[in-house]
Structure 1
Amino acid sequence: MTDPFPLVVFDLDGTLAETAGDLMGALNHVLSLDGLPPLPVDQARSLLGAGGRALIRRGFASAGRPLDENRLEDLFRRFLAFYEDHIADHSHLYPGVVAAMDRLEADGFAFAVCTNKLEGTAKRLLAALGVADRFKVICGQDTFAVSKPEPGALLGTIARAGGDPARCVMVGDSRTDIDTAKAARIPCVAVDFGYTDRPVATFEPDRVISHFDALADAVGSLVGTL
């Protein structure tokens, strides 16, 4: 028997792609519906990373405005509609993503996505960015009964991809991703340019990289220890 293929599971927003401009644009759209002022894109690091509903909650909290659950659900529907109409107006893959995937693929790796975006929205964005077909599966907040940081989201993604947790590495940009990987007992590479309000090294991932040029070596060093 041969060993199972090694698998790299990526987060999406702030990891594979810079999406803050479009996400904050959608947030500001729904804030305006309740007469709230727009928030600058440079606040994205502290607001993004837990999905659309959490983003809207955080936006209202920043404005000091209470938000009940019924209104949240209405605004979330409006947020999704606006966002999907503008899903890649400003979003783009980070430099080096495609080259890093090419190198890892040549070394026998396969890829998956585990994000707190809705699954359909994640697939639409990755298609717009031209890389959806690179992933065995793209799993989102609504794919499983749980979402990150619950380990079941990551373990479920690995299972759907046909991978083995013993031959897997997670790549993310936030405490949510690192906590998920630790709970699932999967090694984690963190990028230091994503959406987090504290330095990502604070959360003690196994490796930290500052450019995708370093990803293949970081992942290879971890898979070699599995």
Structure 2
Amino acid sequence: MKNATLVFDLDGTLVDSAPDLVAATNHALADLGLEPIAGATLRATIGFGARRMILEGLNHTGRTLPNDEVDRLLARFLAYYEPNIARESHPFDGAVSVLENFRTHGARLAVCTNKRLALAKRLLRELHLDRLFDAVAGRDSFPVYKPHPDHVLGAIQMAGGDPAYAVMIGDTAIDVAAAKAADVPVIACSFGYSDQPVEDLGADAVIGHFAELDAAVRRLLPSCPNPSG
């Protein structure tokens, strides 16, 4: 693993954040007097961001609103979500020990998420995961974000890595598209928030648990050069 860089999506890949994102969505929609929307209804929209979750909730109730009203609900979402970001969210089973093992064996670790940087850092900090990462690239870290390849490449560069010895791990078509555009092998997680079967995303490998990640990464990584010769 020495010289390898592993780039992780956040929501639906490292962290099961659906409960708190759904709670924030329902908090925003409650301002309209709407009943709470079930998590199962909103789960597949998580990868597209908070605004999309709000729009899905409105669509589910047959409501449409002008953009300025959606913006107001988004502000209400964010005001609630930030202080409650890790109330029920937690790392997926096995994630922490696998990440620790990667670091022990010399891998660089980075987060590449379409979540806003301040929120991503807060979530990682509150879950005590920030210690494990060399870099965190959020939606607003660069002029572009996933599926643009420069988001992934920028995260690798921030971590001090080399794209030639990197692997992306994500859970949605956005992650797969970004990695492929960056010419980086990609592993899809079937336990995440994809709105379609992950087997159909075109990833180089699919895992159903973090226990499978080490073997999948090793299959995809080229041999890294030894800087000591």
If the length of structure 1 is used for normalisation, what is the TM-score?
0.93
How many Å separate the matches in 1 of 2:26 and 2:51? 13
Give the alignment of 1:74-85 within 5 angstroms.
74-85=72-83
2:147 alignment partner in structure 1? 149
Secondary structure of the corresponding residue to residue 180 of structure 1? helix
> Is residue 214 of structure 2 the alignment partner of residue 216 of structure 1?
yes
**8 Å CA contact 1:168, 1:186 repeated in 2:** yes
Once the 2 structures are TM-superposed, how far is the Cα of residue 4 of structure 1 from its aligned partner? Answer: 8.0
Distance 1:197 1:52, change over 3 A: same
Measured on the aligned residues, the alpha-carbon RMSD in Å equals 1.7
1:110 aligns with 2:79: no
Query: Offset at 1:165?
Result: 0.9
2:163 alignment counterpart: 165
Match among 103, 123, 126 for residue 125 of structure 1: 123
Q: Find the counterpart in structure 1 of residue 227 from structure 2.
A: none
1:181 alignment counterpart: 179
Amino acid at match of 1:9: V
Q: Specify every segment of 5 or more residues in structure 1 that has no aligned partner in the other structure, as ranges.
A: none
Residue identity over aligned pairs, in percent, reads: 43
Question: Equivalent residues in 2 for 1:29-48 (5 A)?
Answer: 29-48=27-46
One-letter amino acid matched to 1:58 = E
Q: CA deviation at 1:225?
A: 6.5
Range with bigger deviation, 211-220 or 55-64: 55-64
Q: CA deviation at 1:222?
A: 0.7
For 2:181 and 2:41, locate their aligned partners in 1 and report how far apart those are by CA, in whole Å.
28
For residue 25 of structure 1, what is the aligned residue in structure 2? 23
Deviating more after overlay: 34-43 vs 21-30: 34-43
Within the candidate set 56, 59, 78, 1:58 is matched to 56
Q: Is the 8 A contact 1:51 1:141 kept in 2?
A: no
- 2:202 counterpart residue number: 204
Give the count of matched residue pairs: 224
Is residue 7 from structure 1 mapped to residue 5 from structure 2 by the alignment?
A: yes
Structure 1 position 220, deviation (Å): 1.2
Cα distance in 2 for residues equivalent to 1:68 and 1:164:
45
With normalisation by structure 2, the TM-score equals: 0.92
Q: Deviations over 1:108-155 (max 9, x none)?
A: 211010111100001000111111121111111111111111112111
CA deviation after TM superposition for structure 1 residue 214, in Å: 1.0
Amino acid at match of 1:173: D
1:140 alignment partner in structure 2: 138
Single out whichever of 100-109 and 161-170 deviates more from structure 2. 100-109
- 1:42 counterpart letter in structure 2: A
Unaligned runs of 5+ in 2: 225-229
- Please tell me whether the aligned partners of residues 6 and 110 of structure 1 are also in contact (alpha carbons under 8 angstroms): yes
Q: Displacement of 1:59 after TM fit? A: 2.2
The CA distance in 2 between the partners of 1:123 and 1:27, in whole Å, is 20
